[in-house]
């Protein structure tokens, strides 16, 4: 079984609650499925769950290079040099990243409001990036963007492999 879940903000990518943060069991009442990969508590979007260990390994194995596409609202205006640095791969504390596909995009008009809302500063502009990476290090997109001077304000995973969030409201899931 494969499940696509639109993980809301401040939800953990595990079934058990931890402190004040809820786990997936509040939304998904299906026995024997586990997340294939993770989304940080403060990130939103597509989380794939499966009961198939081989599928879980295939989706998370760095050697497979499963593409994951994110929409990132960043603080500041992306300069061409920052986008080129991301496209070439940047060196983080845990080593060089693989090159990312990245483009500045318009704010998505289909995106739901975030709860809590993004903190905005009147004197600092923001912009949206669409990034596709083929690895999945801890907080990787956030760290890559910060490395080039574009701190992430909001991060939404749109796609994993061929699966997208299309048609999934926050906190809802469907079998795929």
Q: Which residues are catalytic?
A: 40
Collect all residues with Cβ–Cβ distance below 8 Å to 165 and sequence separation of at least 6.
4, 6, 45, 46, 156, 157, 158, 159
Written as six digits, the tokens of 130 are 């669409």
How far apart are alpha carbons 55 and 27 in whole angstroms?
Answer: 22
Instruction: From 168, 49, 35, select the one nearest 111 (Cα to Cα).
Output: 168
**Rounded-to-5 percentages of helix, strand, coil across the chain:** 20, 30, 50
What kind and span of H or E run contains 88? helix 80-88
Instruction: From 58, 21, 63, select the one nearest 37 (Cα to Cα).
Output: 58
How far apart are alpha carbons 72 and 152 in whole angstroms?
Answer: 6
Is residue 37 within 8 Å of 136, Cβ to Cβ?
yes
| DSSP class of 71 | E
């Amino acid at each position: 079984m494969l499940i696509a879940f639109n993980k809301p903000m401040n939800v953990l990518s595990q079934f058990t609650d931890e402190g004040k943060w809820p786990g997936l069991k509040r939304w998904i009442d299906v026995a024997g499925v586990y997340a294939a990969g993770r989304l940080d508590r403060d990130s939103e979007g597509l989380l794939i769950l499966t009961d198939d260990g081989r599928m879980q390994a295939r989706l998370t194995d760095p050697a497979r290079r499963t593409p994951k596409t994110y929409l990132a609202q960043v603080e500041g205006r992306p300069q061409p040099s920052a986008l080129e640095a991301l496209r070439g791969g940047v060196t983080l504390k845990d080593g060089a990243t693989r090159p990312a596909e990245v483009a500045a995009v318009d704010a998505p008009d289909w995106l739901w409001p975030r709860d809590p809302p993004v903190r905005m500063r009147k004197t600092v502009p923001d912009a949206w990036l669409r990034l596709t990476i083929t690895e999945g290090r801890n907080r990787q997109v956030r760290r890559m963007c910060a490395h080039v001077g574009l701190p992430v304000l909001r991060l939404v995973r749109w796609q994993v492999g061929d699966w997208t969030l299309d048609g999934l409201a926050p906190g809802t899931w469907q079998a795929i």
